[in-house]
A and B are shown apart, each in its own frame.
Chain A
Amino acid sequence: MAIDPLTLTIIWNRLTTIAEEAGNTLRKTAYSPGIRDAEDCAFAMFDAETRMMAEAIYTPGQSASMPFALRHALDVYPASSLEPGDGIVVNDPYLGNGHLNDIYVLLPVFFNGELVAYTGCCGHHSDVGGAAPGSQAVQGVYDLYSEGMIIPPVMFYRRRQLVTDVAELIAANTRIHDYTLGDLKAQYNACTVAERGLIRLLEEVGVDAWGACLEEMLRRTEAEMREAIEALPDGQYEYEGFLDDYEEGSPALRVKATLTIAGSYLAVDYAGSDGYVPAAINCPYNLTYSYTLYALKAVLAPSLPANEGIRRPIRVVAPEGSIFNPPFPAPCAARAILVPRMIDVVMGALSQVTPGRALAAASHFDNTMMGGRDLKTGRPFVNFQMISAGFPARPYCDGEEALPLGYNTGNVPIEIDEAVDPVVIDRFEFIPDSAGAGKFRGGLGIRKDIRLLAGPLRLSNNADRHRFPAWGLYGAGAGTVGRILLNPDGEARPLHSKGVYTVDSGEVVSVQVGGAGGWGDPLERAPKAVLEDVLDGVVSETAAHSEYGVVIVDGRLDETGTAALREQMARAKRGANA
């Protein structure tokens, strides 16, 4: 069936609209702050062959992993056994998205009695049981079983009826059973919103036109992805970095990516990366695949729709037993910690072939969680902090302030945190002189101090780049390292980036996230831009002098002094390099 540009445009747009509508419904009806406020969720649709057709753009990893989750679910419930209104639920990290908190709900779509598509969504649930509130402790967990409840693919709705036994079993295994069930129902409901949208579309255009458009969409997306790869010189490009450690005293973990470009084919291989570890930071392959794809797409084809077509020319390899492909049941709750490391090294490798496009290294997020009992309400609570800091510098401009790279979870308003949980936030501010210096500087680091009004509480940290800062590229400086201090204004006690502690009412947890890496020689930065940063108090006069060679006197630029200082610094640098 030949497809004209108008019909193709109409159907393609409609598929995206349907996914967005369902995604919106999910976000607005969810209970977990991760889903409703932070948008740590995903919505996508697949054809009967499980090829991704369209997504609502929220958290790219969850949607990129969804085809794996769907295929595994169909291994348990073959397509022939499914009926309209069936909803399958799964959170097994090795089948889904790499940790138990991400629960998928998947629904078959029937048209004229035939299974024609699937709709599915994922949401980060605040708690799925296990050793620590929030179910994401890095330490003190031995294996996947100690992290929380494992849900293999099971039928959660059968012919539009809630399977109450399963629901009860799930609810009984979380600390916040009400919310968990509310969220799962919201997820199922969102799947049915898209189901109705797809059926309406099929009624309008017919199965044949729809099928032909789908083939054409995938073909074109694939062709464009291949074109983008083909434009790069063939060869192998490596980059490596390190994860601080996985517990106090443990060794740093090597993270290495090798990019192979051969014609219109691209492979990323994590060979050379360290083996999996006895802590919950191992990154199951699905998530390794998903965020590698994200980094490649963001640099090579940011505006291409994320359907099956972009996956075809790309291969992601992670040696079995490595931190990027651990064996079941290695613990993995906090595996998101490896995602920025992965994006950074893929960007580093890409920067060698696409110097005008790839980014420096980003600030690493801090995902600190505190849980216990709220004395005022008597209710158990989990306070979930997601602190993102600097976006890396780019070959064409500074990194943005306070924006994450890869994941896209926002913050929870301080006033809501304080109204709902027994905490008071003492500060939420940029850290001066924390950004990597460069022709373009990185985004700044951020400090957030959380004062506890209840105790004793269990605190679990989930952070990195406390030892290895975010690097700069092409002569730029790195960002600062981060740290977490208990009671910063008293006898400050440094906490480990992945430690689990008991803290008490009245104590203050000070999270200080380091800045992002710069791009290009700092001596080439426009002196005016350095002056602006000094006036805004984010770069000190001392740093302007020592890192940028810019002389500022009484809030004004000393142009002659700057020229002389820069020349002297450039000479010294050349001397050092000679």
Chain B
Amino acid sequence: MRIAIDVGGTFTDFAWEVDGKIRTGKVPTTHPEPSDAVFKGLDEFLADRLQEAPWLIHASTLASNTAIERTGAETAVLTTRGFRDVLLIGRQKRYDVYDVSLRRPKSLVPRRRILEVDERTAADGSVRKPVAADQVLEAARELEQLGVQSLAICFLNSYANAEHEEQARSLVGEAAPSMYVTTSADVAPQWREYERFSTTVLNAYLGPTLSRYLSSLAAGLKDRGFTGQVLVMQSSGGVAPAETMERYPVRLLESGPAAGVLMAGRLSRQLGVVNALSFDMGGTTAKLGLVRDGIVNVTDTFEIAQVDLKPRSGLPVMVPSVDVIEIGAGGGSIARPNRGLIEVGPRSAGADPGPACYGRGGLEPTVTDADLVLGYLNSDYFAGGLLRLDRDGAKQAIMSRLGDPLDMTLVEAAWSIHRLVNMNMATAAKAASIARGIDVRDFALLAFGGAGPIHAARIAEELGIGRVVVPRAAGVGSAVGLLGADVRFDLVRTMRCPLSESEAGNIERAYAELEQVAQTLLHGMASDGETIYRRSADLRYIGQGFEVATDVPSGPTTAAVLKEIEGNFHSTYERIYGQADRGRAVEGTNWRLAAIRPTEVRARHESRTIPPGGGASYSREAYLPEVGDFTMVEVHSRFSLQPGFEGRGPAIVEEDDCTTVIPANWTFTVDEDENLVLSFEADTHGN
């Protein structure tokens, strides 16, 4: 038995697997104590069976909410003398070149809480000036008196030699034993001081909050008879023991989206699809993730708390994270005329007041309003019938705010909203895949989230993708994804050296050391199976400033292996940038290791009985331009479609928390796992 819990902003989702069957459940998330909802759900769904579970897998938005809402611990920074302002100066680029009214996000730590001490390590790791122990002790005492709970130790060049930070850590431990202490070389041992310090400060800022939460979770579980291990989902898409993560809370920032993409990864393996694009569209944003060869793409840097999702406007985080592209496109995205063009998103009506058709005072037209007017949504069966949608309100909003000003009919305006939000998502997906050197046309699109399945087939058309899969329980997809999460820990070391035979020993030593660290971190894991060590490196042509993540074969690092790495680099480079420079010397900067213990879950959703009145098919009008205007379209209840069912678009499939639109030129089937599989008929489209 496995249990997975995903704490989201609105709902806490549960998925559990017993005897090869998956069941799911949902309770409202509680604030400010999210563990209340967790216990409520456990008591409701799994009251007497908790002791059977060896693992409980947990994901939550607590870390990102704490960072975004700035409700973390009172934090201070200890840094190298002369570099007090590294965190405040940043990389010095405006995130908008022309907007002179822009504001930088405030630092999590005010300048008065950034203290300097004498110490200095050189770039080669040698010591230029020893740590002034008395200054560290004095700073620690002072900070404790000020009520500071958490301290980030950020010394220059510590990526090359962590000794000084460790000395400072133990000194602080003496002077202020209750302080949560985190060091930059431990959290993100890579060069680039601003990004490393920023990551470390976030870790310190989140530490006390996350530790408190994880301990209260553990205590509550123990009270309920749970004797297994709590595993926590990291941004990287792997789980790790909760005790380890109390030390690295910054690795939990993207835990929620990671669980979603992970479900896509699991689904793609289950389907035998090697390459997939996960597409999770909710109320405010859409999240896209890449799955290649059944493996979820992971990136090494991202930003949290951005302004309008603009690059460089947020706080950089230098830890591995599932590569999620977030776009301001959701059901609540607002459409408006902008200098004669139509703008859809990133502004969103959110959940309150929500789209005009919610009838809660929203006056601006949104994507959901357009979907309703176009006949894709059923006004009587939205969110399982919980909310009745107001069609007249939607029409009114679309015409008064968009149709009339731009001289478009209702249908033209509604279709424009639908088409453009699809294009925005397709454009972002295309840009992101091109930037990663990936051609998505042979990928499958895996759609989930409340709004995803309405738009999925159209986005697939924009991207030239011929297959769309909508899983069962798409609305609680993240929790289901957690059930199949691998245990994983990512480690990195910065060491700049050319890919030459004389360095083979150093490179092998670096990897061996990382493997040892991984073994320690995963020691005592109640997981069966072998640990797989996946190596990679950030490589570049000597003289370049950006690296390309390159696969590295498992050890030992011989001359032949070095040749292979170099070959991998050239071809990755070529794939991403169009041309490689094979004659030029290559060097590595960061050496990475992912320690993975894979999990295989082969379970089916428990069959559901057809709800009363929810099973019959009927017809309603929907707008399908490829057929011509409004057409009568057959509407199926998802629960009435048994495995083996085959159908042909245009059609609509409705279920409690989402609706799937199948345009003409698409066929669909229900597979053995009750996934809805849509296929594009290329021959009828001429594409």
Residues of A within 8 A of B (CB): 4-6, 8-10, 12-14, 17, 20-21, 24-25, 27-31, 33, 36-37, 39, 57-58, 60, 178-179, 182, 185, 189, 192-193, 220-221, 224, 294, 297-299, 302-304, 306, 359, 388, 394, 396-397, 400-405, 408-411, 413-416, 418-419, 424-430, 446, 449, 535-538
Q: Does B46 contact A (CB under 8 A)?
A: no
CB < 8 Å: which of A57, A419, A430 contacts B98? A57
CB < 8 Å: which of B157, B342, B576 contacts A9? B342
Cβ contacts under 8 Å, A397 to chain B:
101, 103
CB < 8 Å: which of B91, B102, B193, B412 contacts A415? B193
B578 touches A193 (CB 8 A): yes
Q: Nearest chain A CB to B285's CB is how many angstroms away?
A: 18
Per the bound structure, the CA–CA distance linking A98 and B97 in Å amounts to 21
Stretch at the interface among B17-25, B164-172, B226-234, B427-435: B427-435
Q: A17-B427, A394-B100 are in contact. Are A5 and B93 (CB under 8 A)?
A: no
Q: Nearest chain B CB to A207's CB is how many angstroms away?
A: 20
Per the bound structure, the CA–CA distance linking A154 and B300 in Å amounts to 41
Q: A39-B93, A403-B92, A414-B193 are in contact. Are A6 and B342 (CB under 8 A)?
A: yes
Q: A224-B339, A408-B93 are in contact. Are A400 and B103 (CB under 8 A)?
A: yes
Cβ contacts under 8 Å, A411 to chain B:
89, 91-92
Per the bound structure, the CA–CA distance linking A4 and B193 in Å amounts to 50
Q: Interface majority SS on B: helix, strand, loop or mixed?
A: loop
Per the bound structure, the CA–CA distance linking A221 and B90 in Å amounts to 34
Per the bound structure, the CA–CA distance linking A297 and B100 in Å amounts to 10
B100 touches A36 (CB 8 A): no
B427 touches A13 (CB 8 A): yes
Q: Nearest chain B CB to A127's CB is how many angstroms away?
A: 13
User: How many residue pairs between the two chains, A and B, have CB atoms under 8 Å in the bound complex?
Assistant: 185
Per the bound structure, the CA–CA distance linking A17 and B425 in Å amounts to 13
Q: Does B543 contact A (CB under 8 A)?
A: yes
Cβ contacts under 8 Å, A182 to chain B:
541, 543, 581, 584
Q: A6-B342, A429-B83 are in contact. Are A408 and B112 (CB under 8 A)?
A: no
CB closest chain-B residue, reference A294: B98
Stretch at the interface among B211-219, B258-266, B416-424, B481-489: B416-424
Cβ contacts under 8 Å, B408 to chain A:
4-5
Per the bound structure, the CA–CA distance linking A322 and B63 in Å amounts to 58
Cβ contacts under 8 Å, B85 to chain A:
402, 428-430, 446
Per the bound structure, the CA–CA distance linking A383 and B545 in Å amounts to 14
A-B contact pairs, 27 of them (CB 8 A): A5-B337, A5-B416, A6-B419, A17-B431, A30-B545, A182-B541, A182-B581, A302-B101, A359-B100, A394-B100, A397-B101, A402-B92, A405-B100, A411-B89, A413-B195, A415-B156, A415-B191, A415-B192, A416-B192, A418-B123, A419-B496, A424-B122, A425-B82, A428-B85, A429-B82, A430-B111, A537-B111
B423 touches A415 (CB 8 A): no
Cβ contacts under 8 Å, A17 to chain B:
427, 431
Per the bound structure, the CA–CA distance linking A31 and B581 in Å amounts to 12
Q: A220-B339, A402-B92 are in contact. Are A37 and B545 (CB under 8 A)?
A: yes
CB < 8 Å: which of A36, A193, A221, A537 contacts B546? A36
Q: Does B137 contact A (CB under 8 A)?
A: no
| B:55-88 near A, CB below 8 Å | 81-86, 88
Cβ contacts under 8 Å, B556 to chain A:
none
Cβ contacts under 8 Å, B91 to chain A:
410-411
CB closest chain-A residue, reference B417: A6
Q: Total interface residues on B, using CB and 8 Å?
A: 67
Cβ contacts under 8 Å, A4 to chain B:
408, 412
B104 touches A58 (CB 8 A): no
Cβ contacts under 8 Å, B578 to chain A:
25, 189, 192-193
Q: Nearest chain B CB to A149's CB is how many angstroms away?
A: 20
Q: A179-B543, A408-B93, A535-B112 are in contact. Are A24 and B192 (CB under 8 A)?
A: no
CB < 8 Å: which of B98, B112, B156, B431 contacts A298? B98
Q: A6-B420, A414-B156 are in contact. Are A303 and B99 (CB under 8 A)?
A: yes
Cβ contacts under 8 Å, B100 to chain A:
298-299, 302, 359, 394, 405
B90 touches A402 (CB 8 A): yes
Per the bound structure, the CA–CA distance linking A37 and B547 in Å amounts to 12
In this complex, the member of A4, A5, A30 whose beta carbon has the largest number of chain B beta carbons within 10 angstroms is A5
Per the bound structure, the CA–CA distance linking A214 and B546 in Å amounts to 35
Q: Does B386 contact A (CB under 8 A)?
A: no
Per the bound structure, the CA–CA distance linking A429 and B87 in Å amounts to 10
B94 touches A428 (CB 8 A): no
CB closest chain-A residue, reference B430: A17
Q: Nearest chain A CB to B577's CB is how many angstroms away?
A: 5
Per the bound structure, the CA–CA distance linking A414 and B191 in Å amounts to 9
Q: Nearest chain B CB to A50's CB is how many angstroms away?
A: 23
Contact string, B188-206, partner A, CB cutoff 8 A, digits 1/0? Answer: 0001111100000000000
In this complex, the member of A24, A36, A302 whose beta carbon has the largest number of chain B beta carbons within 10 angstroms is A302
Q: A403-B94, A414-B156, A537-B111 are in contact. Are A5 and B431 (CB under 8 A)?
A: no
Q: Does B128 contact A (CB under 8 A)?
A: yes
Q: Does B159 contact A (CB under 8 A)?
A: yes
Cβ contacts under 8 Å, A36 to chain B:
544-546
B94 touches A402 (CB 8 A): no
Per the bound structure, the CA–CA distance linking A546 and B531 in Å amounts to 66
Q: Does B110 contact A (CB under 8 A)?
A: yes
Per the bound structure, the CA–CA distance linking A220 and B435 in Å amounts to 32
CB < 8 Å: which of B86, B112, B123, B546 contacts A536? B112
A5 touches B340 (CB 8 A): yes
Cβ contacts under 8 Å, A297 to chain B:
98
Q: Does B341 contact A (CB under 8 A)?
A: yes
Cβ contacts under 8 Å, B96 to chain A:
302
Q: Does B406 contact A (CB under 8 A)?
A: yes
Cβ contacts under 8 Å, A33 to chain B:
545
